[in-house]
Structure 1
């Protein structure tokens, strides 16, 4: 099926990209990086995912490309900021705040994490202080609102925060884990997949439940093939 083939292509491309990053194989790793988000976007489109998710992935793709070009770091950050606006807007519209009201410790914990990150990063960021502080606030908002939609989507938001935090540590000349570039890309790809698949699966489940209610109300049974979202 189309969606399955595209998903396989996404994972194959991701694995090849991570292998090239680990090997330091420039510029091939830049070429494969530019293919990862379009493939994930194609999978979301094949699964009829929501437009804000498609927009977030396409903006992320633009950010990926911009970050590979010298002098385009701020442009890349702006594109990723747009992606986070799409994520946050979608999560809030879909009821994230209701879930967070039942678990107030989540936004409080993330607020503490954001403040601590800004405090530690600030001295080493130079002219990037305000852009990074503003971007990290949007990034944290994505993590917080994602957590309002359950474990899978919440894990995606947390991994996105981790991935970009490692980039910020590099900018601020702070200690980094071994093979930081590989860790950044691995957590980033996992984050985007968890966010995308979590949103798509949640929407599909809701649509199926709505269909079941309509079928029951009209006294009809659902044909088994109608529940196949592949």
Structure 2
């Protein structure tokens, strides 16, 4: 799809991508953080609006609320160095997203798919628990990792397109693992600073577009916008 077609048919997606790129590049410059906070929130916030406006099903609406919580979490992480509020908002995102995926479970999983689901459920909280250099944070990280792993596993086991929604959830998982590593083995590395945002945003973009595309094909009568 050309940029002109994207602007005409999916303006919210285009605006979201612009906001995501703007935040990524402007944060390396002299811009005050106060100006970057709403730009960061707009990237996923516009995806929430896209989910809400493109389909009126309960799944689309619940995922829109989840993306709204994630957008607030993105901003909270910029406002304070204390990650508690941001972590709680993302915990809410995982719970709501998991509700959507569990309502759309795939009837059968192959052995490799089952193994992937189990690995996500078990290894994610374990890795999260081992990452922080400050062991006082280990329990909180482990509990958050449990919700993160459950969200990703349920997305992988859902009947939404695995190469869009499943892959998007896996990218979300990777971005959070990089954040965990920034609290431990990658404390002095620029890798998390460079990779976390683009990996996370790409994951969210894949989830939003994959979910809307699937729901609009399943329930065309619930479409709210002609194009899309």
Q: TM-score range by the shorter chain?
A: 0.7 to 0.9
Taking structure 1 as the reference length, what is the TM-score of the superposition?
Answer: 0.81
What's 2:96 paired with? 86
Measured against aligned partners, the alpha-carbon deviations of 1:150-195 in whole angstroms (never above 9, x if no partner) come to 2211111110011111111112243676442231110111111111
* Pairs aligned (count): 212
What's 1:106 paired with? 116
Gaps of 5+ in 1: 212-226
* 1:132 corresponds to 2:116: no
Measured against aligned partners, the alpha-carbon deviations of 1:76-124 in whole angstroms (never above 9, x if no partner) come to 101100000011111001124x3446631221332453265146415x2
Gaps of 5+ in 2: 1-6
Taking structure 2 as the reference length, what is the TM-score of the superposition?
Answer: 0.81
Deviates more, 1:57-66 or 1:27-36: 27-36
Name the SS for the 1:172 alignment partner. Answer: coil
* 1:159 corresponds to 2:171: yes
**Distance in structure 2 (CA, Å) of the matches to 1:26 and 1:137:** 35
User: 1:37 touches 1:57 (CA, 8 Å); kept in 2?
Assistant: yes
Name the SS for the 1:17 alignment partner. Answer: helix
| RMSD of equivalent CA atoms | 2.6
Pick the structure with more helix per residue. Answer: 1
Aligned counterpart for 1:18 among listed residues 21, 24, 43: 24
**Distance in structure 1 (CA, Å) of the matches to 2:82 and 2:31:** 21
Call closer, same or farther: CA 1:8–1:165 in 2, change over 3 Å: same
